[in-house]
Chains A and B, each alone.
Chain A
Amino acid sequence: MVEFTAVPPAVPVLAVAALIPLLSRRVGHALGALVSAGVMAWSFLVPEGAYLDVAFLGFDAVLFNVDGFSRIMGIVFGLIGTAAVVYSYYSDAENVQTAYALSYVGTSLGAVFAGDWLTLVFFWELMAVTSTLLVWDYGGPAVRAGFRYALLHGIGGSLLIAGIVWHYAAVGTFLFGSLEGVDHAAGMAGTVPQILAALGIGVNVGFVGLHAWLPDTYPRPHIAASVFLCVFTTKTGVYGMYRAFPDGHVWIAYMGGAMAVFGASMALLQNDMRRLLSYHIQSQVGYMVAGVGIPAALATSGAFGHVYNHILYKSLLFMTVGAVIYRTGEESLKKVGGLAREMPVTALAFTVAALSISGFPGFNGFVSKGMVVEAAHKKHWDALWYLLLAGGVGTFMSFIKLGYYVFLHVPDSETESAGSRGPPGGPSTVPHIQEVLVLAAIALVGFFLLKKPLQKLAGVPDADAAYEPLTFYGTRGVVRGVTEAYAAVDRAAVALASATMAAARDPSRVKRYAPGGREEIGMDPEQGRAPMDTTIGTSILILTVVLTVALVVLLA
């Protein structure tokens, strides 16, 4: 079994990513699919334990750590990597884009198989870089969205690094506490690192308020890129959240509940199909975050089960919606409709995925979502329980909306309930199934009651309406402000120096200039703006001032 553990799975994936631009489209994509499938098998077979202990930058690091959690992440990443590469091939993605996508897959694998915080954050940052490249590759409006994405993830990554460094200062090692032979408790140590890590990881999982990048970025790139994006960043975030908070935390659980409701309600208001799905990522990740946050084995298992299930149905949803966009060239719900007859297979696949995401009995979402909801119920965190149920109603409603407008739209309406014939296959109890059926009924009735008002409500602004101008004007404001402040200080210093010298040379001139001379020193008359270059005289003046300040400070 030695050969399984000799290299981390990230290495072959990254190597193939580097090769793809040199190969033909067919061979490149085949190789990409093959290596992803290989990773899946590999993650399945490799025995538990920590491998590849190395010294990285002079610190102990574990490059390949296998336990139950990283194994499931590896399997599901390999699975979706394979499916998404094949999808890329059939949706006419360029080789370069698939190469970016695979490098993104590779860095995500590196992050989830890391056995210490240093390696994790190393790949975490690389993930931000590779996913930004994947978005940028599409050009057009994706570029500016990519900038905002990169900026927010840069801030998130920096917060996480700060948390990790603080954690290191507290415990003296970067290794995860869950490893053998590491003598501190698993998770972040201390309050400040916990807050920093929660916020840093919170950017990746889309905490309410930090989520604006999600619906902003994911609808814009190529449809195959969306399939990749919907899987890796947020799920790695959930995994990181578990590593930071293995015993959960009540605030995180409630944040998860809030995300579930917020995401589902915002999704209900969208008309852009991929934007709607993006809000659902937030909503579904909310369930996982809630699962991580609830301190119970059932909840944690539910969270990771939901990661697995969610990746399956969410990539399926993005693929079906991508197929619709590919076929019609339209992104908006208002411009498509009645496609059930034209694209029956897509409609069927969509129905399956929609029922799964809604947690309908007999579909995979039912089990894992049910575990999280049940755990909240058992803990008697009733507010959280209601939040999660409300999120379920919103999910049902928005998928009825999506399916209705894309595939039916014409007056015959009751087809959607056909899926309800599926027998309960989950391990759950009868009341549990009743609960979900009630939710579905509420949602169905609610949707048709609210259909008219909802049509009017579309275009309700979210936080990104504030973010977009904020990043733009914020960056510009900083640049302008500094430039102008610098120029102003420069002007003031020069004016003061010249005035002093002039006054010393010829005191009578002071009177002449006193009312306020019109000449603006430091302005370049030709350019009409303050030049950034200080003159030689000013430079010497600044030098003198610095020296004087230094002497005064030191000798005082």
Chain B
Amino acid sequence: MSDVPALLVALPILASVLALLVGQWRPRAAWAVAFLGTAVQVGAAGLLAARVLGGETVRYAVGDFAAPYGIELVVDGLSASVALLVAVVAFGVLLYSRVAGPREPAFHAQYLLLVAGLSGMSVTGDVFNLYVFLEITGLAAYALVASGESGRAAVGALKYLLIGTVGASLYLLGVGYAFIVTGTLNMADMAGTLGSEIAYTHPAVLTAFALVVTGLAVKSAVFPLHTWQPEAYASAPDGVSAFISALVSTVSAYAIARVIVSVFTVEFFRANPVAQDLVVGIAGLSVVAGSVLAVTQTEVKRMLAYSSVSQFGLVVAAFAIATERAVTGGTVHLIGHAVMKGGLFLAAGAVAAATGARYVSEYRGLASRRPFLAGAVAVLALAMVGVPPAVGFVGKWYIALAAVEAGWWFIAAVILSSTLLTLAYFARLVERMYFASAPTAAAGTADAVGATPDAAVADGSGETAEAERPGTPDRVTPGVVALVVAVAVLSVALGFAATDFAQLLRPTLPELLAP
């Protein structure tokens, strides 16, 4: 049983190699391997979560080297939740990619590698090991973005690669500083050394904090370090953008939380209030700037991408406030956002496949043409705005309440204003779909009901390669629509489950917050 954490990492890597090999023999078989791999992953992560979400912590020493020297995998309630999220989303998006592609064996190999990297980041208890998984995640994600064969995807991936690598390097540099003063890489050990043997105000510790948090902030796309993200999400194939938007930034934000609460601990903030001010301030800025930038977008996927910038600002702010309620809220919102945003990207992909619509203006009258897709988009969008009882409301509510309790009035105000801005950009979409009449044929772009499947050619983006993406499906199957609708239902259902989930997290959190 205690081997399960290692299995979470090893299994997808093995499956990845297997998928590549089997794929040479028969390309469709690669999907089956990936399917089996992620299904087992869901089972393993679920098993682990069921055991851990009660307060127990599972530890696994890699290669039987004892903790301070060897690498340790540590799973508590927080990391098990994220690992389960990774497995479930990977499974769901894989179902989508069977219809929507890409279908090459290489895609499935990279996909499983990304799952391995993300799971590793969730369960590791070692700061250097975290860097290794960060790089595995990054490399797999760069390759996946580039797998869209348009020029736009290549440029987007290159930008992502360069900026992401610099971010990861900053993180490594920060780990180096921390290692020099503490002499250990194990998270628990480092937390024990900091504060007792090395003062929190030691310049090297402060430098390490700045480097580590800045590096991870690049990966979670917090404003103004988000510049790689909109283009990467918008240019990637639809299945890929759903997957990386739901998970890559999410797990990086989890890593920020882990570093803040488990390595530097809340004592560090008490000793350096200015560090807390800095992180909360940047996060608050990100919330507002991301929302405002999202309002200015005309392309749906870019709008969703900027929306993520805003939501991750909120999550990072919650983790930086670092009270029990705030971390609960941050975790709920982290998971809720992954479900909602992944679902929105899937829906955007399905809408593009069905009607060719990729711009907000092209969504007009969608409700009459594609009632289920439009309904799912509307539900997910309202959930994201934070309309109760959806999960988006619960997360925001906990964070707002925690901000008020901890005296961060600024964050409470930011949350309220960002809710209005979120309403502004999603209301635009919903209004287009439900209350604007369907476009006339003269509009020149996607036609009404009888639209040819390849109407995307004329979507006016100026990118001729846009429509020639490999794997763009000819039709949207009922299965895809059902998947999108299921995610929409899930986003509401999670809202009801969130209170119980918060109860389950309870035993884990005080231990983390008051070491």
How long is the Cα–Cα vector from A114 to B296 in the complex, in angstroms? Answer: 39
Q: Chain B residues with Cβ under 8 A from A151's Cβ?
A: 420
Whether the Cβ atoms of A543 and B166 lie closer than 8 Å is yes
Tell whether B408 is near chain A: CB-to-CB under 8 Å.
no
Question: Are B387 and A553 neighbours in the complex by a CB distance under 8 Å?
Answer: no
Q: Does A430 contact B (CB under 8 A)?
A: no
Which of A222-230, A271-279, A282-290, A476-484 lies at the binding interface? A476-484
1/0 per residue, CB under 8 A from A, across B388-415: the answer is 1000001001101100110000001000
Contacts of A129 in B (CB 8 A): 382, 387
CB closest residue in chain A, given B291:
A482
CB <8 Å contact, A547 and B227: no
A482, B423: Cα distance in complex, Å = 18
- Nearest CB in chain B to that of A136: its residue: B435
A residues in contact with B4, CB < 8 Å = none
Return the chain A residue nearest B407 by Cβ: A169
Q: Which chain B residues lie closer than 8 Å to A554 at the CB level?
A: 206-207, 209-210, 272, 274-275, 278
CB distance from A205 to the nearest CB of B (A): 21
- Indicate which residue in B163, B282, B401, B416 contacts A543 across the interface (CB closer than 8 Å): B163
Nearest-neighbor residue (CB-CB) of A118 within chain B = B397
CA distance A126 to B390 in the complex (A): 12
- In the complex, which residues of chain B have a beta carbon less than 8 angstroms from the beta carbon of A55? 499
| A536-B159, A539-B163, A540-B166 known; A125-B387 Cβ under 8 A | yes
Is A325's CB within 8 Å of the partner chain B? no
Residues of B within 8 A of A553 (CB): 274, 278
Given A165-B412, A479-B292, A539-B227, A155 contacting B214 (CB threshold 8 A) = no
* CB interface residues, A 483-524, toward B, < 8 Å: 483, 486
Give the docked Cα–Cα distance between A300 and B270 (Å): 51
Verify B502–A547 contact, CB threshold 8 A: no
A532, CB-defined interface residue at 8 Å: yes
Q: Min CB distance, A174 to chain B, in Å?
A: 11
Best-buried of A55, A158, A483, A547 by chain B (most CB within 10 Å): A547
Q: Does residue A466 face the partner (Cβ distance < 8 Å to B)?
A: no
Interface mask (B121-165 → A, CB under 8 Å = 1, otherwise 0) = 000000000000000000000000000000000000011001100
Flag whether B7 is at the interface (Cβ < 8 A): no
B293 close to chain A: CB less than 8 A? yes
Interface: B434 (CB within 8 A) = yes
Q: Is A166 an interface residue (CB 8 A)?
A: yes
Tell whether A533 pairs with B230 under 8 Å between CB atoms, given A475-B424, A543-B163: yes
For residue B72, CB closer than 8 A to chain A, the reply is no
Indicate whether A165 sits within 8 Å of B401 (C-beta atoms), given known contacts A540-B162, A543-B214, A551-B210: yes
| Residue in contact with A57 in the complex, picked from B293, B397, B431, CB distance below 8 Å | B397
Q: How far is the CA of A534 from the CA of B295 in the complex (A)?
A: 18
B423 adjacent to A150 (CB under 8 Å) = yes
Q: Is the CB of A550 within 8 A of B404?
A: no
How would residues 488 to 515 of chain B score, 1 for a CB under 8 Å from any chain A CB and 0 otherwise? 0000000000110011000000000000
Distance of A532 Cα from B290 Cα, bound (Å): 13
Closest approach, in angstroms, between the C-beta of B463 and any C-beta of chain A?
13
Contact of B32 with A by CB under 8 A: no
Q: Which of A532-556 contact B (CB under 8 A)?
A: 532-534, 536, 538-540, 542-543, 546-547, 550-551, 553-555
26 contacts between A and B (CB under 8 A): A57-B397, A57-B498, A57-B499, A58-B503, A126-B387, A129-B387, A137-B435, A139-B435, A154-B423, A155-B420, A158-B416, A158-B420, A161-B416, A169-B405, A479-B292, A479-B295, A482-B296, A532-B293, A536-B162, A539-B159, A540-B163, A543-B214, A550-B214, A551-B210, A554-B206, A555-B207
Interface residues of A (CB under 8 A from B): 55-58, 122, 125-126, 129, 136-137, 139, 143, 147, 150-151, 154-155, 158, 161-162, 165-166, 168-169, 475, 478-479, 482-483, 486, 532-534, 536, 538-540, 542-543, 546-547, 550-551, 553-555
Hey, which bits of chain B sit against chain A, CB under 8 A?
A: 158-159, 162-163, 166-167, 170, 203, 206-207, 209-211, 213-214, 218, 224-225, 227-228, 230-231, 272, 274-275, 278, 282, 289, 292-293, 295-297, 382, 387-388, 394, 397-398, 400-401, 404-405, 412, 416, 419-420, 423-424, 427, 431, 434-435, 437, 498-499, 502-503
20 extra interface residue pairs, beta carbon distance < 8 Å, beyond A162-B412, A478-B295: A56-B499, A58-B502, A137-B435, A147-B427, A150-B427, A155-B420, A165-B404, A165-B412, A166-B404, A168-B401, A475-B424, A479-B292, A486-B293, A540-B163, A543-B167, A546-B214, A554-B206, A554-B210, A554-B274, A554-B275
